[in-house]
Each structure stands twice: as structure tokens, then as C-alpha cells.
Amino acid sequence: MVLDAFQKRRERQMLTLLLPALIPLAILTIYPALYAVYLSMTNEALTGVAAAKPRFVGAANYFRLFSDGRFWNSLFVTFVFVVGSAIIGQFVLGFISAVALRRKVYGSSVFGAAILLPNAAPEVVAGFMWISMLAGGDHATLSKIMIALGLPWVDWLNTFPLFMVTMVNTWRGIGTAMILLTAGLSAVPSEVYEAARMDGANPRQMFLRITLPLMAPTIFLYMLISTVSTISVFGMVYALTRGGPGNRTEVISVYIYNQSFTAFQLGYGAAGAVVALLVSLVLGITYVRSLKVNV
Amino acid sequence: MNRFIAGGLVAIAVSLLAGTANAETLRVALHGQAGIDAFTPTAERIEKALGVDVEIVEYPAPDKDYMTKLLTELAAGNGPDLFSIPSAADVADMVAAGYLAPVGAELAAWPPYADFVDVAKQLAVSPDGETYVMPYILGIQQIYFRRDLLDKAGISTEQPKNWADLLARAKEIKEKTGAYGLLFPAGTSWGGGAFDEGFSHLIIGSSTPQLVGDDGKFDLSGKGVLDVFQFYKDLIDNDLMPVEPLLGPEPWVIPKYEMFPKGELAATTCGSWCYIFDWGRESKNPIPDVTNVVGTWADPGQESGEFVLAGLGAAWAVNAKTANLDIAKKALLETGSVDNQIETASRIGNIPSSNAVQADPRFQALTELVPIQAAANHGTYLKQATGMSVVSEGVARATEALLRKETDAAGAQQILIDHVRQTLGDEAIK
């Protein structure tokens, strides 16, 4: 296609307008991602000989990664964490909250504020707050409640670590889900519901035949955002359990951190980061392509 | 107008200069309030003696997080001028990375260094023959046991003769008191402690007591390594050591600060600092009359012998890339002063390296530490080599697998070997 002078000028103008966004994107996102790919093919480390003289090792880090049971464990833990907290927990509870808030009932604004409150606390602070509630011993909040009820206390974070981490992340993410899904619900025209009611549709039919189909783009956009952002959750899990006990909550982000900054193997950690990036990319593309959502 | 602006700029410059009393600022990395409290008088002495400002920067605790931040900054070229290194296993690797400035000449020319015990000087020498750290305090480690608990149950408090005797003692404790019999730190959460405070106690008394050969290569396939992991497995399989707390994020808290003071754990490896910091006067959960209630055993050898494990205690080092190299090296010498050794000993409980402290009444007042300092010269230690921090991490991973009952002793040894080989390459290992 041959562009005329006007179109060329227009393209240049558009590019100029995009530059303020493209330059930071290139410097802060694309360059680090490409550097991570390069780093993953070296034995770069934070200490030892490899820190002073890193060398190119080709795909050795990837071969090692795929033969590391702890890496596969972290992928499995991440899968459970994402499905449990983002897809089931946050979505279901966020959707229920969004639907409930549409109804003008007494106390709904207080309910909405309460749901949003967890987002006000930084994730590490939230993590430590939950430790104080879930820890074992006589002094933890939940233990005190158990003891008051005549029950023995439970060290929740050691006994049910992945479930607890999933629950806390669900608690933190309901607000975001609720806001997004409320916006989606608001976009459904009320006339459609009125017409359905006149045709004799019951609430269940209206939900399944009107709300869900019309909400699909919003739901899958939310799924895309929450899946990718949950894969990268680090601070809260690290604050809560540091990936323990015994790697049972070592999600991929914590695994990458542990390899890079506690075992000090930057190259190997970068290989894990590249794989995590690819997983996120594949998931994102799958969501967008299969549902034809315009992002 | 120009005069007005110039006058303003001069006023700003004067006020900025007046804000700092000295031309140079020495940035010192420390972590933990006890360490900062111990170092503060030394910082004041450095300021007075060298005419510099000392900025103490509090780094994250525990040791693992401290090292992460420190190494990241050193790698980025913006590390502190002066810093301490919690684990001796990290020193050789930091030397290999080019982070540490050599200080051998300065120490040799510094008269008080002659009073340092030989073991401290030997520990300070890196594999390349140069000295990069000030070995001002030592970690002297043994097995600490609840004498009161054992006496009450009629269990012998005599020095165990060998590993079998130690294991039998732990079993007897469990049977007669219900308390866990013995703790060796293990697992990845404990960081360097799994190696420094656990594995090292046993390997020095094993049939292959050193991990590094004369050629500087690691020999991890020795029978001693296998036997050490088997000892761990026996402790775990017989429920003689608390496993679940070791898998948590701060694994030392429950066993050392809660179970041992309560008498739910009867024996654990520890250093002299336990008498002051963990269970003594600086503890949040002190054991009354701790030196009588808590006794010590030397580490028994696998077949026979007694070993007292000596290691560098948070040795000070100078950043090789500091802009204030001369001043930082002079400040390093001040960290080796008798005053700093005693102040650190009284706050943290490590053992001063200088024999000169024995003549100091302030040290004589630390009655828990005096006999241990006198015995420091008989300490045994592991030979260091580049890559030792990788071995330390490998031991943590191997013992973690044992804690989780995912492998046996041979499997744990293989995890260690594989980790070191994959990280350092085939050429680093025999």
C-alpha cells in the first residue's frame, strides 16, 4: 500500500504523540525483558567468580530449570494459587459483591467500602497483619478465638499454607474484581431486563441469558488482568510464608526471587523469569484470541 | 538582581557546608538493633579519630536478607564503605567477586593484631593467601543442653563420646521427658545457619572432615558427608528434632526462643551468643541462671574425639570500590579495637579475638564468655574456598529434602553434589 503525503504526515504525528508512552515502555519494560533473556543465557551471579567474570552458558540454565523438581512444584503451586484466588475466589466473590451492590439496600455503601478496604493496606503490611491473625501459639488472633470457644489453636500458616495464602490473596483482590465487574454490570442496558421481565423471564434466566453473555467481555478482561497480576504476586506471599513451609507456597515469583537473591544465581533466576513471562504471554494471548476481546 | 541570586546561592552553599561537620562521610552497613547498639560507640570513636562522619545504615535482618541487599548493592557498585559479613562461608566468594579490599598489609602493620588468637588470624586468610577481613570476634559453637531437664529425668550430662552416644542421649531425652532431644539447624529458610550452625558441627568430626582439597576443589562425595546426612535422617525419622518449625519462614524463632526456654527442646547447637543473646540478659525470653541451667558439650566425633567449632563472627570488610579507601581501612582497624570487641561481646555474646581482653575488667565481668575465650585457640574450623556459599546453599537444600522426608542420606548427598556442580561447573568439584 502506497501512502500519500498526508497519510505519512499523519502517521508521523501519531508516532510523535505515542512517543511519551513508547519511550518509558521501551526503557522500563522491553529492555529489561530482553536483558533478562540475555541474562538467562549466562551464569551471572551476585557473588563468587561468576559475579566478576560471568560467561555465556547457552541454554544450560533452561535445561537445569526443566529438570528441577522445585521449579515444577512452583508452577503447580502458582496454578493452584491463580485458580483458587484469582479465578474462583476473587471473581466469584467480586461478582456477588457487584450484583449485591447494584441493589439499593440499607448498608450497601458500607459493604462496598468494607470490600475495598483491603486494597488500602500495602501487600507486605497486609501479609504481616494476617500473620498476626493466623500464626500458631496462644497470642494469634484466630488462636484466641479458638481458645475462647474451647477449641485447640491451629497454626494455620503451617497446617494449611497454600489455602491460607490463597484466601488472603482473595481477600485482597475482591475489591478490584468488584469495581471492574460493577462497571461491566452498569453497561448492561436496563431496557433489556425490562423487556425480558415483560416476556416472563425469571431472575435465573435473566442472569444466564442476559447478564452473563453481555458481561462476557468484561469478565474475560478481568480474567486476563487478574491471572497475569496474580502470577506476579510476590510481596504478600513472601511476607506471609517466604514460600514455605517446605516450598508448599513457593509460587513462581518467590521461586525466581529465591534463586536470584538468596541463592544469588542471577542467570538461573532470569531463566525462571523468562519462563514465567512466556506463561503469562501465552495465557494473555489465549484469553484475547479465543474470546476476541478488544483489549 | 544577579547579586541577589549570587548571594542566595552563596548562602545555600554555606548552609549546606555547615550542615556536615566533616568533609567525608563513611557509610557503614549494619543490621539488627543489638549490632547497631554495639557499634555506635565505635562509630563515635571513628568520627573523632579520623575526622569523618559515620553514617550507620540499617540493613534488613535476618542475615539472609542482609546479604541479599549488601551483595546487590556491591554488584551495582553503590555498596557501603564498610560492612560486616555474617557468615564466613560468604567471604571467599565475595573476594572472588572482587567486592573486598585487601587489608593484609594494614593488619600486619597494626600492633594490636599481634594479640589476636591464631585461629582468628587463620580464619581471616582467604584461599588466595591474602586477608580481606577484620576477624575481631569469633563464633565458638558447641551443643547447648538443658542441664536441669536432664538432671531431673536422671539422664547423664557427661560429654557424649561419639555420634552414636549423642543419638542415644537424644532418644533417652525423648523417651523420658517427651522433649525433643537435639536440634541441628536445617533447611533453606535458616539460610547460612543450616551449614554454619548445623552441618559444620558434624562434618568436622566425620571420617572426611574437610570439604575442600589441596587443589581448591570440593570433595562432597566423601563418606563423611553421607554419614552426616544419615545422622540428620536418624534424628528426623525418630522424631528427635522439631521438623515443622524449621520449614517456616523464621525457623529459629520457635525452637530456640520458645521451645528451648520452655524445656520442650533439650539440646541444640549454638554459639556463645546463646548465653547472652538467645537465652541470657539480652534475650526477650531469658532462662534464669542460664549458665548453670544450660550446659555445653563439645561436638563429639563420629567415632571419638571432641571438637569446638570456631568461625568468624560477622567479620568487618572494606568495599573494594569505595571512594574513601584509606579512611575505610583505618576505620576497619578501629573495628578491631579491644573496646569494640568487648562492646560487641557484651551485646551479642560472640567471643573477642584478642587475648588482650583477658586483662580488661569489662570483659572479666562477662563471666559467661571468659572461659570460652580462653579456649578459643583450640577451635576447629572448616577450610574455606571460593564457592563455599554455594556449598552452604546446597547443604540447606539437601537438609530441606530430609526434613520433608523426600529423600534418604544418599539422595541428600546427591542434591548437594548436583547443586554445586550445576552452579559452579564440573571443574569446581572432584
Of B68, B404, B424, the CB nearest to A246: B404
Same domain, B242 and B324: no
Q: Could you tell me if residue B157 is inside a domain? A: yes
**Could you tell me the pLDDT band of residue B417, with boundaries at 50, 70 and 90?**
very high
Region class of A137: left (phi > 0), else alpha (psi between -120 and 50), else beta: left
Q: Could you tell me if residue B422 is inside a domain? A: yes
Task: Return the pLDDT at A292.
Answer: 66
Tell me the CB-side half-sphere exposure of residue B274, using CA atoms within 13 A: 28
**Could you tell me the pLDDT band of residue B64, with boundaries at 50, 70 and 90?**
confident
Same domain, B165 and B288: yes
Task: Return the pLDDT at B17.
Answer: 45
| Amino acid at residue number B170 | A
Binned average pLDDT, 10 residues per bin, chain A of 295 residues: 80 91 93 96 94 93 92 96 93 88 76 83 89 83 90 87 95 90 88 91 90 88 90 92 86 94 92 95 84 57
- Chain A residues inside the 8 Å CB shell of B386: 48-49
Same domain, B161 and B192: yes
With H, G, I as helix, E, B as strand and everything else as coil, classify residue A99. Answer: helix
Same domain, B302 and B319: no
| Gap between the Cα atoms of A69 and A246, Å rounded | 13
pLDDT at B341 over 90: yes
Task: Return the pLDDT at B20.
Answer: 47
Task: Return the pLDDT at B104.
Answer: 96
What is the pLDDT averaged over residues B224-240? 97
- Chain A residues inside the 8 Å CB shell of B98: 51-52
| Gap between the Cα atoms of B300 and B145, Å rounded | 14
The domains located in chain A, with CATH, are: 36-291 (1.10.3720.10)
Give yes or no for A148 touching B (CB within 8 A).
no
Among B378, B394, B420, the domain-final residue is B378
What are the distances in angstroms from CA B224 to CA B199, B301, B379, B409, B413? 11, 11, 20, 11, 10
What is the pLDDT averaged over residues B351-363? 93
Task: Return the pLDDT at B22.
Answer: 56
Q: Could you tell me if residue B158 is inside a domain? A: yes
**Could you tell me the pLDDT band of residue B136, with boundaries at 50, 70 and 90?**
very high
Task: Return the pLDDT at B422.
Answer: 81
- The answer for residues whose C-beta is within 8 angstroms of residue A40's C-beta and 6 or more apart is A61, A62, A267, A268, A270, A271, A273, A274
Q: Could you tell me if residue B8 is inside a domain? A: no
Among B345, B363, B378, the domain-final residue is B378
Domain containing residue B129: CATH number: 3.40.190.10
With H, G, I as helix, E, B as strand and everything else as coil, classify residue B306. Answer: strand
The total domain count for chain B is 2
Task: Return the pLDDT at B10.
Answer: 56
Q: Could you tell me if residue B122 is inside a domain? A: yes
Check if the beta carbon of residue B47 is closer than 8 Å to that of residue B22: yes
What are the distances in angstroms from CA B376 to CA A123, A197, B125, B137? 46, 88, 17, 11
- The answer for residues whose C-beta is within 8 angstroms of residue B156's C-beta and 6 or more apart is B150, B169
Same domain, B206 and B347: no
**Could you tell me the pLDDT band of residue B160, with boundaries at 50, 70 and 90?**
very high
| Gap between the Cα atoms of B76 and B99, Å rounded | 11
Same domain, B165 and B204: yes
Please give the grid coordinates belonging to residue B256: 530456640
Same domain, B98 and B115: yes
Same domain, B106 and B164: no
Give yes or no for A67 touching B (CB within 8 A).
no
Q: Report phi then psi at B186, rounded to 5.
A: -155, 160
pLDDT at B18 over 50: no
Q: Which residues of B touch A (CB under 8 A)?
A: 64, 68, 71-72, 75, 90, 93-94, 96-99, 187-189, 191, 244, 247-249, 258, 386-387, 389-390, 393, 400, 403-404, 422-425
Task: Return the pLDDT at B2.
Answer: 59
What is the pLDDT averaged over residues B381-408? 91
pLDDT at B8 over 80: no
Q: What is the ipTM of this complex?
A: 0.81
* Residue from B90, B93, B217 to probe the interface with A (highest A Cβ count within 10 Å): B93
- Chain B residues inside the 8 Å CB shell of A64: 422
Q: How far is B414 from chain A (nearest CA, A)?
A: 13
Q: Which of B306, B295, B314 minimizes the C-alpha distance to B378?
A: B306
Please give the grid coordinates belonging to residue B206: 566425620
Which residue carries 574455606 as its cell? Answer: B384
What are the distances in angstroms from CA B426 to CA A29, A60, B180, B223, B225? 36, 13, 40, 20, 19
Check if the beta carbon of residue B426 is closer than 8 Å to that of residue B246: no
Of B97, B247, B425, the CB nearest to A47: B97
Task: Return the pLDDT at B207.
Answer: 95
Same domain, B105 and B146: no
- Chain B residues inside the 8 Å CB shell of A153: none
With H, G, I as helix, E, B as strand and everything else as coil, classify residue B404. Answer: coil
Task: Return the pLDDT at B5.
Answer: 57
pLDDT at B15 over 70: no
Q: Could you tell me if residue B3 is inside a domain? A: no
Task: Return the pLDDT at A260.
Answer: 94
Whether omega for the bond prior to residue A245 falls within 30 degrees of 0, making it cis, is: yes
A279: number of Cβ within 10 Å: 17
Are B188 and A258 a contacting pair at CB < 8 A?
yes
| Amino acid at residue number B117 | V
Task: Return the pLDDT at A137.
Answer: 74
What are the distances in angstroms from CA B155 to CA B37, B166, B291, B322? 40, 12, 19, 56
Whether omega for the bond prior to residue B62 falls within 30 degrees of 0, making it cis, is: yes
| Gap between the Cα atoms of B41 and B35, Å rounded | 11
What is the residue-averaged pLDDT of chain B? 91
- The answer for residues whose C-beta is within 8 angstroms of residue B200's C-beta and 6 or more apart is B141, B309, B311, B382
Same domain, B163 and B287: yes
Q: Which residue of A lies nearest to B62 if distances are taken between CA atoms?
A: A262
Beta-strand ranges (E) seen in B272-375 are 294-297, 299-300, 306-307, 309-312, 315-318, 351-352
For residue B319, the enclosing domain spans 24-135+311-378
pLDDT digits (tens, 9 = 90+) for B278-305: 999 888 889 999 999 999 999 999 999 9
Task: Return the pLDDT at A102.
Answer: 78
Percent of chain B residues topping a pLDDT of 90: 70
pLDDT at B144 over 60: yes
What are the distances in angstroms from CA A218 to CA B119, B245, B252? 69, 44, 47
With H, G, I as helix, E, B as strand and everything else as coil, classify residue B82. Answer: strand
| Amino acid at residue number B55 | E
pLDDT at B243 over 80: yes
Q: Could you tell me if residue B54 is inside a domain? A: yes
Q: Which of B197, B308, B93 minimizes the C-alpha distance to A46?
A: B93
Same domain, B285 and B332: no
What are the distances in angstroms from CA A162 to CA A77, A80, A135, B142, B252? 8, 8, 14, 37, 22
Same domain, B274 and B369: no
Q: How far is A175 from chain B (nearest CA, A)?
A: 28
Q: Could you tell me if residue B335 is inside a domain? A: yes
Type and span of the H or E element at A18: helix A5-25
Of B247, B387, B424, the CB nearest to A245: B247
> What does the DSSP 8-state code read for residue A53?
S
